[in-house]
Chains A and B, each alone.
Chain A
Amino acid sequence: MSDTVAGLLQVGALVVLLAVVYVPLGDYMARVFTSERHLRVERFFYRVVRVDAGTEQKWTTYAAGVIGFSFVSVVLLYLIQRLQPFLPFGFGRGVDGDTIPPAMAFNNAVSFVTNTNWQSYVPEQVAGHTVQSAGLAVQNFLSAAVGLAVAVALTRGFLRSATDRLGNFWVDLTRGTVRILLPFAFVAGILLVAMGAVMSLKSGTDVTNVDGAQYTIPLAPAGSQEAIKELGTNGGGIFNANSSHPFENPNALSNLFEIFLLLVIPVSLTRTFGTMVRNTRQGTVLVAVMGVIWAALTAIAWFSESAARTPAAIAAGAAMEGKEVRFGIPGSMLFAVSTTGTSTGAINAQHDSLSGGAGAVTILNMLLGEVAPGGVGTGLYGILVVAIIAVFLAGLMVGRTPEYLGKKLGRREVTAASISILAMPALVLIGVGLAIALPGTGDAMNNSGSHGFSEVLYAYSSASNNNGSAFAGITVTSDFFQTTLGICMLLGRFVPILATLALAGCLARQKKVEAGAGTLPTDGVLFSVLVGGTIILVAALTFFPALALGPIVEALS
């Protein structure tokens, strides 16, 4: 079998797997968030935490729940890291001794609570198993569940009429965790161990290599964390090498399975949306846009990486620097595009060493706003906001009434959507501009010239989009980077969330209007093209100058 055919079959197998679960999983998630019934374990849970599951909240209360919950999450995660010396399974790990310093602990806490999982530390040297499993991995669940909740609240905004109630944040958070993330992650984690991933509580194991040399191989409870890391589109590795580490991603089968895991919820959520608004074609239109962008970028990355003519690739004979033999170029590119198109940011190849074309694709994929298919929940509300802008633009162009799913898009709705969509570009451009203007940044770069610029652009794109992957050669432990990247992660997460919830509130308050002759149909191919065009237009207009300075120069040289 030729390499190309094998690579195509690999992509095909992934698409078939996603297609098979699309309807059942999408509909299951819709039932989870619309069901009147609470599970017994949930009722017990609500009693313990004193939540009245029967009351619904206004958008402001819902938003207060999201922000308040994330706030205490950052504080607790910071404390768990700082208290590592007193916790079990710490093994004396840390930086310069057994502690995690304040700036690093703060950056990590923000990073995991915002679903970014940007990592400025070497996990197997810095974080013990308690910090990993009972601290960081808890946020792998909860930050994903927050994303789900916000997406569901926005969907209810379209669904409901003349009400100021959006649902109960604590119920949505609990159901997303208990009924979706926990059971699926548990099964996936065991499957990963069956494929070869480690799940050990030891710090490491001593071995004598065939040449007689002694080594300690670090171990970790990786299986359970790897599963939720991908399923929740988090991406924070339990080992520094992330999903390229053989203990996290042991073979080509686990590789395909992990790509499936990180795509499955964002993709199926479009079905959940369609089912909830009682018009599944509305979901199909969105997943089609996501799929076309994903497929196009995968094709470009795969082709340009296979045909790389950079000096390093010519010297070696192929672009294998920073890749694993078992995945090869197709398996690495499939992962790279899927991880940057979701908010995952896990890696199975070092993106910093990608040749110009593939490197540009990974940056562009984030700058498109991570909607192909986006993170858990964030992908759905991200693309719905784009759809609103698309309806508005189309309305301006052809003089049609801007309406989407029976809701009029007035000044408030479009303002909220615009804030949501423009937060990320503003953060990326201001962040990169500041960093480049400062004299110290040149020393932090691992590479000079346009590739050094790409490292900085990648860092701010990754933080502001809550992705978490990196052109990892850059040294980001300086106070400037820790602080500004931390701010980008916070604002890149919560400004769009607040704008989205405000939007949901506005939409829910409106009465539904019947579609008239002047209403743009939003369940056909034309609308897919409009949404796709809007995604590309916004990114191209905003980022062309920045992309031209780094990735585009590289891709052309």
Chain B
Amino acid sequence: MLTTFWRQTATGLRVLILFTIVCGIIYPALSYGVAHIPGLAGNAEGSIVTAKDGTPAGSSLIGIDPVAKDPNADPYFHTRPSASSENALGPADTSTSGGSDKGPFDTKLVDTVDERKATIAARDGVDPSQVPPDAVTASASGLDPDISPAYAAIQVARVARVTGLPVAAVQKLVADSTEGRILGFLGEPTVAVTTLNLAVAAAR
């Protein structure tokens, strides 16, 4: 019985080493190769988007909240809150990812949500009841690239005022960064914040 076990284990070791080479080296290497053919390479390296001057300005798939130098003249569309941020609102710690893991009855979470709601309502000059749910809740990844069209809408007036762009022009930029449901029914409508902010910066 025991000899059977050790003999099978020895076979197991040889099989494991061979499969480590096949599944652990050849498979990812082949996948890497195919993922870097033209058309896929951009995706494979993180969907990097560039600013007007060509410098890498972020990933279209990663949302990092921009911070205005003067809070009273804030020209940016803001992302959703991130659990890895030091404050209730503000940029994520990009070295990690994840959510708050706060439960539905957590009183601290309720306080944080209320604080965010008040801050955003004051910042964008709207009634707190107009601040949508995604604006005041931390995302699952902490790097959510998207906001809801409702959250983009309440930010338009402020961005237009601070940047000096006409409201209609900002609305047009928002519309350009808005995606409906994929195929009309998959997921939810989204506004991609990183590309939107770059479009606003380019239009100024």
Contact = CB atoms under 8 A, between A and B. Distances in A.
Interface of A: 1, 5-6, 9-10, 13, 45, 48-51, 60-61, 64-65, 67-69, 71-73, 76, 122, 124-125, 133-135, 137-138, 141-142, 169-170, 173-174, 177, 182, 185-186, 189-190, 193-202, 205-211, 213, 215-219, 221, 223-225, 228, 239-241, 244-247, 250-253, 255-256, 308, 310-313, 315-328, 331-332, 347-350, 352-356, 359, 446-447, 449, 451, 454, 471-473, 554, 557
A251 B57 contact: no
Contact of A353 (B19, B68, B101, B110): B101
Contact of B44 (A51, A137, A200, A355): A200
Contacts of A321: 99-100, 102, 104, 109, 113, 137-138
Given A124-B97, A322-B100, A252 B186 contact: yes
A196 B194 CA distance: 15
16 contacts: A61-B8, A68-B6, A72-B13, A142-B23, A189-B31, A190-B31, A190-B34, A199-B32, A213-B66, A224-B28, A239-B97, A311-B110, A317-B133, A321-B109, A325-B134, A471-B101
Given A60-B4, A190-B31, A320-B134, A472 B101 contact: yes
Nearest to A195: B43
Nearest to A329: B188
A246 B82 CA distance: 14
A205 B95 CA distance: 11
Contact of B51 (A194, A210, A350, A446): A210
Contacts of B91: 209, 213, 215
Contact of A349 (B94, B140, B145): B140
Contact of B146 (A185, A326, A348): A326
Contact of A124 (B11, B43, B96, B183): B96
Contacts of B184: 1, 6
B45 A251 contact: no
A209 B23 contact: no
A186 B67 CA distance: 41
A391 B57 CA distance: 63
Contacts of A473: 100-103
B56 A69 contact: no
B13 to A, nearest CB: 5
Nearest to A331: B187
A216 B101 contact: no
Interface string B73-89: 00010001000000000
Contacts of A223: 31, 35, 44
A302 B147 CA distance: 21
Contacts of A50: 11, 14
In order of increasing CB-CB distance, the 6 nearest A-B pairs are A252-B187, A68-B9, A473-B101, A244-B140, A134-B24, A310-B104
Contact of B66 (A65, A170, A210, A310): A210
B131 to A, nearest CB: 8
A211 B109 contact: no
A487 B20 CA distance: 25
A64 B5 contact: yes
B113 to A, nearest CB: 4
Interface string B24-54: 1101101110111000100111111001000
A311 B187 contact: no
A318 to B, nearest CB: 4
A68 B19 contact: no
Interface string B134-165: 10111111111111100000000000000000
Contacts of A311: 104-105, 107, 110
A200 B46 contact: yes
A121 B148 CA distance: 31
B18 interface: yes
A67 B134 CA distance: 48
A447 B105 contact: yes
Contacts of B76: 210-211
A553 to B, nearest CB: 10
A170 B11 CA distance: 9
A316 B184 CA distance: 27
Contacts of B190: 325-326
A122 to B, nearest CB: 5
A308 B104 CA distance: 9
B72 interface: no
B143 A209 contact: no
Nearest to A132: B28
Nearest to B140: A244
A198 B110 contact: no
A321 B137 CA distance: 5
Given A246-B145, A323-B140, A207 B104 contact: no
Nearest to A309: B104
Nearest to A7: B185
Nearest to A140: B23
B163 to A, nearest CB: 12
Contacts of A185: 27
Contacts of B44: 193, 198-200, 223
Given A69-B9, A72-B12, A240-B96, A353 B28 contact: no
A132 to B, nearest CB: 9
A25 B66 CA distance: 48
A406 B89 CA distance: 65
Contacts of B47: 196, 198, 250
B144 A324 contact: yes
A245 B100 CA distance: 14
A124 B95 contact: yes
A211 B141 contact: no
Q: Which has the most chain A C-beta neighbours within 10 Å: B16, B62, B97?
A: B97
A324 B94 CA distance: 17
Contact of A316 (B61, B133, B188, B198): B133
B16 A73 contact: yes
A49 B104 contact: no
Q: Which has the most chain A C-beta neighbours within 10 Å: B15, B24, B102, B198?
A: B15
